[in-house]
Amino acid sequence: MNLPRNPALVFVGGGHAHIHSLICARDFRKAGARVFLIGPDRYHYYSGMGPGMLSRIYEPGEVRFDVLRLIESREGTFIRGKVVSVDPGNRVLYLDSGVPVPYDLVSFNVGSYIPADLIPGSRDGAYPVKPIEKLEELRKEILEKISKESPRILVIGAGPAGVEISGNICRLVQENGGRADIFLAGPGDRILPDFPEKASRLASRSLAFRGIRIVNHFRVESMENGVARAASGAKMSYDIAVLTMGIKPRPVFRESSLAQAPDGSLLVGDDLQSVSHPGVFGGGDCISIQGKTLPRVGVHAVREGPVLHDNLLAVIEHRRPGIFHPQKNYLLILNLGDGTGLFVRSPLIFRSALAFLLKDRIDRRFMKTYQVSGETGDEIH
Residues 234 and 262 in one domain: no
Domain boundary among 214, 246, 278: 246
Distance CA 109, CA 381 (A): 20
Residues 230 and 143 in one domain: yes
Mean pLDDT, the chain cut into blocks of 10 residues (381 residues total): 92 94 96 97 94 98 95 96 96 96 97 85 88 94 97 97 98 98 97 97 98 97 95 95 90 94 95 97 95 85 95 96 92 97 96 98 94 53 34
Instruction: Write the CA distances from 44 to 70, 203, 355, 377, integer angstroms.
Output: 11, 29, 26, 14
Please list the alpha-helical segments (H only) found in 67-159.
67-72, 122-125, 134-146
In a domain, 290, yes or no: yes
In a domain, 182, yes or no: yes
Residues 128 and 242 in one domain: yes
In a domain, 19, yes or no: yes
Residues 199 and 309 in one domain: no
Q: Provide the edge-to-edge strand list for the sheet that holds 240-243.
A: 127-128, 240-243, 152-156, 181-185, 213-215
Residues 198 and 137 in one domain: yes
Phi-psi region of 148 (alpha: psi -120 to 50; beta: other; left: phi over 0): alpha
In a domain, 343, yes or no: no
Residues 89 and 33 in one domain: yes
CB 109 within 8 A of CB 12: yes
Tally of structural domains, the chain: 2
Residues 278, 325, 16, 254: is their CA dihedral positive or negative? positive
Three-state DSSP at 19 gives: helix
Residues 165 and 273 in one domain: no
Distance CA 226, CA 246 (A): 20
Q: Give the residue from 236, 263, 51, 285 showing the smallest Cα distance to 160.
A: 51
Domain boundary among 226, 246, 266: 246
Domain boundary among 246, 273, 299: 246
* Spatial CB neighbours of 232, under 8 Å, sequence gap ≥ 6: 217, 218, 219
In a domain, 377, yes or no: no
Residues 217 and 166 in one domain: yes
Identity of residue 235: K
- pLDDT computed for residue 373 by the predictor: 60
User: CATH no. for residue 84?
Assistant: 3.50.50.60
DSSP code of residue 137: H
Residues 360, 363, 367, 368: is their CA dihedral positive or negative? positive
DSSP code of residue 146: H
Q: Give, for 170, the enclosing helix (H) or strand (E).
A: helix 160-175
Residues 241 and 259 in one domain: no
Q: Give the residue from 65, 91, 95 showing the smallest Cα distance to 79.
A: 95
Q: Write out the DSSP string of 303-329.
A: HHHHHHHHHHHHHHTT---------SS
Q: Give the residue from 106, 78, 111 showing the smallest Cα distance to 92.
A: 106
Distance CA 287, CA 274 (A): 9
CB 112 within 8 A of CB 130: yes
Distance CA 86, CA 276 (A): 14
Residues 91 and 150 in one domain: no
Distance CA 44, CA 67 (A): 7
Number of Cβ within a 10 Å radius of residue 116: 12
Residues 252 and 105 in one domain: yes
Identity of residue 313: L
In a domain, 378, yes or no: no
Number of Cβ within a 10 Å radius of residue 368: 10
- pLDDT computed for residue 84 by the predictor: 95
Instruction: Write the CA distances from 129 to 157, 244, 334, integer angstroms.
Output: 11, 6, 16
In a domain, 288, yes or no: yes
Distance CA 133, CA 50 (A): 9
- Domain of 218 in residue numbering reads as 122-246
Distance CA 159, CA 171 (A): 19
In a domain, 354, yes or no: no
CA atoms within 13 A on the CB side of 136: 14
Number of Cβ within a 10 Å radius of residue 373: 7
Residues 67 and 41 in one domain: yes
